[in-house]
């Protein structure tokens, strides 16, 4: 993938090297586990309150406010950082141009790079969390060691595979700006789990489509693609399909538990976006679920 020589985004907060443990005010480790954080987030949604305030309240009950050990500063000139920041700038330019004909302004997402773990509104992200977009603060969180995991665990390495992952998360930001995210998340708790999971699959496949739309316009604008790049993205999409991950983890596939789509679906929707380049061709909510 051709990425060097273009501008780097300034909408990036680089926390790498600040991956020390999260502690309470007295230096004690915070006792908030993933289950507690999930409960707090659900309560915040139900009570329509700020999840960060609720989390701080729980933490104070357990012994103090949270803080992060600053750790060792990251090298600002590393190639991984330059790569990610360049891709982030590419998404900003592409989506600003794509939004313009529709009479809309594109507000770029923020990107937080971290290593080990970091705080976000309502919880603590770790390397095991994987990349994610948080609509609450319009921010993508990425531990760049995930690229190593893609290469070593999933056998899905390569610059364009990593670009697909970042473009997918930025795709969630585009969905948030277009109102799709609120429509789906607003149904959480109102629908049976299996039915809500189907909405989640639609949202995730649309994000794959939007990643393809980004790639379409980036190729037109900068000629980013080199031989084998599309195959890298397809390999990544194939590696992280729900069916494949379930099969690896539990030896069987449970379609009602899908939240992101099968490997074939993820590949198909990315390629549809890559070929089309048009937002309106990616309405995963208007077609039959069986036809996704």
Q: What is the mean predicted confidence (pLDDT) over 68-86?
A: 70
| Percent of the chain whose pLDDT exceeds 90 | 72
In a domain? residue 83: yes
Best CA proximity match to 41, nearest among 61, 24, 55, 23 = 55
**Structure tokens given for 238:** 């194939």
pTM reported for the whole predicted model: 0.81
In a domain? residue 45: no
In a domain? residue 32: no
Q: What is the mean predicted confidence (pLDDT) over 181-185?
A: 95
- Inter-residue contact 225 to 186 (CB < 8 Å): no
Q: What is the mean predicted confidence (pLDDT) over 86-105?
A: 97
In a domain? residue 54: no
More confident residue, 5 or 45: 5
- Inter-residue contact 50 to 137 (CB < 8 Å): no
Please say if the pLDDT value at position 227 is more than 60: yes
In a domain? residue 56: no
What's the structural domain count of the chain?
1
- Inter-residue contact 284 to 222 (CB < 8 Å): no
- With H, G, I as helix, E, B as strand and everything else as coil, classify residue 174: helix
In a domain? residue 203: yes
Residues of the domain holding 211: 12-20+70-291
In a domain? residue 156: yes
The answer for residues whose C-beta is within 8 angstroms of residue 27's C-beta and 6 or more apart is none
Q: How many CB atoms lie within 10 A of CB 254?
A: 11
């Amino acid at each position: 993938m051709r990425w060097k020589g273009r501008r780097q985004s300034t909408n990036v907060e680089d926390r790498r090297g600040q991956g020390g443990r999260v502690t309470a005010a007295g230096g004690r480790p915070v006792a908030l586990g993933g289950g507690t954080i999930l409960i707090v987030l659900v309560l915040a949604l139900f009570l329509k309150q700020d999840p960060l305030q609720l989390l701080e309240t729980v933490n104070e009950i357990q012994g103090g406010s949270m803080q992060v050990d600053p750790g060792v500063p990251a090298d600002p000139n590393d190639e991984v950082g330059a790569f990610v920041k360049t891709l982030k700038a590419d998404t900003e330019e592409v989506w600003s141009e794509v939004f313009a004909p529709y009479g809309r302004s594109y507000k770029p997402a923020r990107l937080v790079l971290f290593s080990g773990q970091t705080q976000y509104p309502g919880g603590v992200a770790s390397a095991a969390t994987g990349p994610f977009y948080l609509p609450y603060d319009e921010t993508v969180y990425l531990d760049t060691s995930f690229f190593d995991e893609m290469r070593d665990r999933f056998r899905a390495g390569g610059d364009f595979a990593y670009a697909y992952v970042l473009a997918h998360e930025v795709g969630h930001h585009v969905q948030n700006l277009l109102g799709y995210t609120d429509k789906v998340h607003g149904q959480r708790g109102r629908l049976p789990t299996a039915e809500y999971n189907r909405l989640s699959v639609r949202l995730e496949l649309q994000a794959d489509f939007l990643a393809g739309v980004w790639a379409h316009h980036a190729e037109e604008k900068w000629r980013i693609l080199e031989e084998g790049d599309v195959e890298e993205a397809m390999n990544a999409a194939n590696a992280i399909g729900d069916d494949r991950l379930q099969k690896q983890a539990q030896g069987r596939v449970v379609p009602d538990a899908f939240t992101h789509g099968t490997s074939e679906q993820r590949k198909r929707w990315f390629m549809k976006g890559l070929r089309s380049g048009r937002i309106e061709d990616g309405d995963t909510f208007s077609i039959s679920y069986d036809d996704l």
